[in-house]
Structure 1
């Protein structure tokens, strides 16, 4: 009789991304910004009784963004450490998207008055990027081809 044990799994089985959650101070304003600026669509809105939070699920570009806010509670603003020093703080850094027309996307952000951290910076020989902030200071990094 063998005493060998079955190998233990090294990862949780059958996981897949459901959404990316972002806590916000002003849910309505942030929903409007993500719809108007990034073109996401409202898939659902509601309230999580368990945590006392209102939420909106926004869909688009192959992912779902969950904006969530607990009304009536004090908020701690997102740090606005400028890149590249933001990489010296551990934790999630940015929502990273990709554009087939980085110049056009960047021009659209400028027309909409979006806060642009940098525009069309060449990161590597094959990747350029524009980095923006949403109204509450969260970073959004748009990758594209160098021109």
Structure 2
């Protein structure tokens, strides 16, 4: 059976392929996502209109780092969580980690300034750490546990 014969068609086949992050400096972004979060550079290439991109991968998650020739940051005043949610649009990258205390220690050892460190969010049933990347994009770690997995399935932290 071929790939197309095995798969659903149309919207039923929807899957997240990657996350794209527009960056001010591609070299700095590649270094930051490699050094701080352990992503590996798969490739770097030119695209249309002078745009460059770098595909980063970790644990089968892909991030496209994209550099436009004259980048513009329209969000001059970055809000701290939870006020970052006031501005519409994509607000942050969220990753699961198995042990948030260990992840926090590793980030601090790599010079990452943690804004929220192991904040317990009762509506999620898990601890959350938030920090910013080299361009001040918000990144968060959620500690993976049964409560957060249940919340993602049901909207409740209890089964």
Is the shorter-chain TM-score for this pair beyond 0.5, marking a shared fold?
yes
For residues 86 and 11 of structure 2, what CA distance do their matches in structure 1 show?
29
Larger displacement relative to structure 2 (74-83 or 94-103): 74-83
Q: Which runs of 5+ in 2 are unaligned?
A: 1-9, 146-159
Ranges of 4+ aligned residues in structure 1 off by more than 4 Å: none
Offset at residue 87 of structure 1 (A): 1.0
Q: Please, what TM-score do these two structures have when normalized by structure 1?
A: 0.83
| Paired residue secondary structure (1:51) | helix
Change (3 A) 1:74 1:91: closer
| Paired residue secondary structure (2:13) | coil
State the partner residue of 2:21.
22
State the partner residue of 2:58.
60
Q: Deviations over 1:24-45 (max 9, x none)?
A: 0010001001011110111111
Alignment RMSD, CA only? 1.9
Offset at residue 77 of structure 1 (A): 5.5
Q: Deviations over 1:102-131 (max 9, x none)?
A: 001001111111121110000127300110
The structure number with the bigger radius of gyration is 1
Give 1:106-125 correspondences, 5 Å limit.
106-124=104-122
Equivalent residues of 1:78, 1:137 under 8 A apart? no
State the partner residue of 1:6.
none
| Paired residue secondary structure (2:101) | helix
Q: Please, what TM-score do these two structures have when normalized by structure 2?
A: 0.77
Higher share in strand: 1
Aligned residues: 134
Equivalent residues of 2:133, 2:139 under 8 A apart? yes
Q: Which runs of 5+ in 1 are unaligned?
A: 1-10
